[in-house]
Amino acid sequence: MDILLTHGYFLPDDPPEKQVMKPYPPLGLLYISAYLKSKGFGVEVLDTTFQTRQIVFEQLDRQRPSVVGIYCNLMTKPNVLAMIAHCKGLGATVVLGGPEPPFYADEYLKFGADIIVVGEGEQTLTELLPLLAKKDIAALATVEGIVYRKGDGAICRTSARTMIANLDELPFPDRAAIDLQSYLKVWQKHHHQRPVSLITARGCPYTCSWCSHSVYGISHRRRSPSNVADEMEQLVADYDPDSVWYADDVFTINQRWFFDYARELKKRDLLLPFECISREDRLNEEVVKTLAEMGCSRLWIGAESGSQRILDAMQRRTNAARVREMTTLLQKHGIEAGMFIMLGYHGETEDDLLATAEHLKLANPDIFLTTVSYPIKGTAYYSEVESSIVSEKAWADRTDRDFVVTNRPSRSYYRHANRWLVNEVALYKLIQGGTATLRQKAWAFVNSRLGRLGMAISKRRRP
């Protein structure tokens, strides 16, 4: 075995996700596994999703890999740090990749990681593994897209690696390397579905100020419609799914590609129900009609805010009024409309929150999910508020979610704001629906008012 690939996500240790139970396999690792195998390397994938940390450590003890590649994101950082320490105790060389390590490369190296991969990992690991096998540290300087510590202890950052131009040249994700049926069984048990996930493109060309581009940069590269359809055929043959999750950032971004892909699926009779994400400016009547014909059951729009002022501050390049129009259009064609809403962006006022509540009432999405903004290192948003960021925790004990932006209301304020928003919109829908009981309306009314009261009380408190 040349490398063991793993990640730090443990579903049993994630209470919020245990309530939802919608896990998806680590496609990024499976892409790397497939690519390395196609180049003749020996690869094993240790999928941690349904394991506990202790079980994973015991498996590492048995296998004692010489090189371990770990995918790391903001959410999995605490587990990854523990995995680094354990792997180093076994004498392994630890290579980190994913969106989290590049902007904290020095810290991860200090904590024990040997090499940080910046950007896509397939070609980088292909060059790295032979050098690691020969323990040729000096030659690492020739490998693009890495950060590592040289023999004298100095940190070296090599030049950036060029993105893979032709994604059709990549083999399909190595799903056979993991127990994909475990994912399908969980979904079947909790949601009566058997979905598979895939991506049709890499990267996003938009420049939303809070969004990290640490892996793919501000790029957008598409697979050909026939290549994606080939993967769909393989998925249907191997796993018999009943639905699909397209994990693209913006599924309908290239409309010529989109219509070609729709025709390809129809020609091959591969029209499975699916969910995807898009933007209002990449939707219109013809696109939405085609989505419905393809089997789209739900489309998520990154609405983020109902305040055009805040959308402009985010550099979203979207229009709140048109978000509402596209939500109605989706529902007209039988597609559920979902929205992502972000509270607490820099400069947001209560008037902006009120605009978001009114936006949701008018748009009437079938579902909306909320989050509170936080500055991710490496983003424009982070740079904008960096002078106001504080953290009471040491680096190893926190993530970017733990940052406090000193010139905005407290976390408590936004907990109450979320309670108010959710119930204010729910109350409106209950009244408009005309079938709700008095008790249901009273419950939403009380929670809305309690949320509003909590906002007033906690407005000037710090977390």
Dihedral in degrees, nearest 10, Cα atoms 98, 99, 105, 111? -60
Residue 30: Cβ within 10 Å count: 22
**Same domain, yes or no: 114 and 198:** no
* Percentage, residues of the chain above pLDDT 70: 99
User: SS3 sequence, the chain?
Assistant: CCEEEEECCCHHHCHHHHHHCCCCCCHHHHHHHHHHHHCCCCEEEECCCCCCHHHHHHHHHHHCCCEEEEECCCCCHHHHHHHHHHHHHCCCEEEEECCCHHHHHHHHHHHCCCEEECCCCHHHHHHHHHHHHCCCCHHHHHCCCEEEECCCCCEEECCCCCCCCCHHHCCCCCHHHCCHHHHHHHHHHHHCCCEEEECCEECCCCCCCCCCCCCCCCCCEECCHHHHHHHHHHHHHHHCCCEEEECCCCCCCCHHHHHHHHHHHHHHCCCCCEEEEECHHHCCHHHHHHHHHHCEEEEEEEEECCCHHHHHHCCCCCCHHHHHHHHHHHHHCCCEEEEEEEECCCCCCHHHHHHHHHHHHHHCCCEEEEEECCCCCCCHHHHHHHHHEECCCCHHHCCHHHCEECCCCCHHHHHHHHHHHHHHHHHHHHHHHCCCCHHHHHHHHHHHHHHHHHHHHHCCCCC
Nearest CA to 170 among 123, 215, 225, 118?
Answer: 123
pLDDT digits (tens, 9 = 90+) for 353-405: 999 999 999 999 999 999 999 999 999 999 999 999 998 899 999 999 999 99
Is 0.85 topped by the overall pTM?
A: yes
**Average pLDDT of the residues in 346-354:** 96
Identify the band that residue 459 occupies on the pLDDT scale cut at 50, 70 and 90: confident
**Same domain, yes or no: 88 and 226:** no
**Same domain, yes or no: 369 and 426:** no
Query: What local confidence, expressed as pLDDT, does residue 460 receive?
Result: 63
235 half-sphere exposure, CB direction, 13 A CA radius: 25
**Same domain, yes or no: 198 and 296:** yes
Assess if residue 386 is contained within a domain.
no
Assess if residue 385 is contained within a domain.
no
The CA distance from 400 to 377, in Å, is 7
Q: Are 257 and 219 in contact (CB under 8 A)?
A: no
Q: How far is CA 145 from the centre of its chain?
A: 22
Q: Which of 373, 400, 426 is the last residue of a domain?
A: 373
Q: What is the CATH number of the domain that holds 9?
A: 3.40.50.280
Backbone angles phi, psi at 134, to 5 degrees: -90, 0
Assess if residue 294 is contained within a domain.
yes
pLDDT digits (tens, 9 = 90+) for 320-336: 999 999 999 999 999 99
Assess if residue 380 is contained within a domain.
no
DSSP string, 55-103: HHHHHHHHH--SEEEEE--TTTHHHHHHHHHHHHHTT-EEEEESSSGGG
Residue 377: Cβ within 10 Å count: 17
For the chain, give the mean pLDDT.
95
**Same domain, yes or no: 247 and 362:** yes
The CA distance from 138 to 135, in Å, is 9
**Which tokens belong to 82?**
């523990």
Residues 6+ apart with CB under 8 A from 90: 60, 61, 64, 65
Assess if residue 89 is contained within a domain.
yes
How many structural domains compose the chain? 3
**Helix residue ranges per DSSP H, 295-379:** 308-313, 320-332, 350-363
The CA distance from 137 to 126, in Å, is 16
**Same domain, yes or no: 294 and 422:** no
**Same domain, yes or no: 208 and 142:** no
Assess if residue 179 is contained within a domain.
no
Assess if residue 257 is contained within a domain.
yes
Assess if residue 180 is contained within a domain.
no
The residue range of the domain holding 316 is 193-373
Q: Which of 110, 134, 157 is the last residue of a domain?
A: 157
**Same domain, yes or no: 150 and 278:** no
**Average pLDDT of the residues in 35-49:** 98
The full length of the chain comes to 463
Amino acid at 221: R
**Average pLDDT of the residues in 415-425:** 97
**Same domain, yes or no: 47 and 152:** yes
**Average pLDDT of the residues in 71-83:** 96
**Which tokens belong to 232?**
């769909």
Q: Are 270 and 312 in contact (CB under 8 A)?
A: no
Query: What local confidence, expressed as pLDDT, does residue 136 receive?
Result: 87
Q: What is the CATH number of the domain that holds 210?
A: 3.20.20.70
**Which tokens belong to 417?**
């704001």
**Same domain, yes or no: 203 and 93:** no
Residue 13: Cβ within 10 Å count: 14
Identify the band that residue 461 occupies on the pLDDT scale cut at 50, 70 and 90: low
Q: Which of 348, 373, 398 is the last residue of a domain?
A: 373
**Which tokens belong to 61?**
């003890």
**Same domain, yes or no: 147 and 200:** no
pLDDT digits (tens, 9 = 90+) for 148-184: 999 888 999 999 999 999 999 999 999 999 999 999 9
**Same domain, yes or no: 358 and 439:** no
For residue 463, pLDDT beyond 60? no
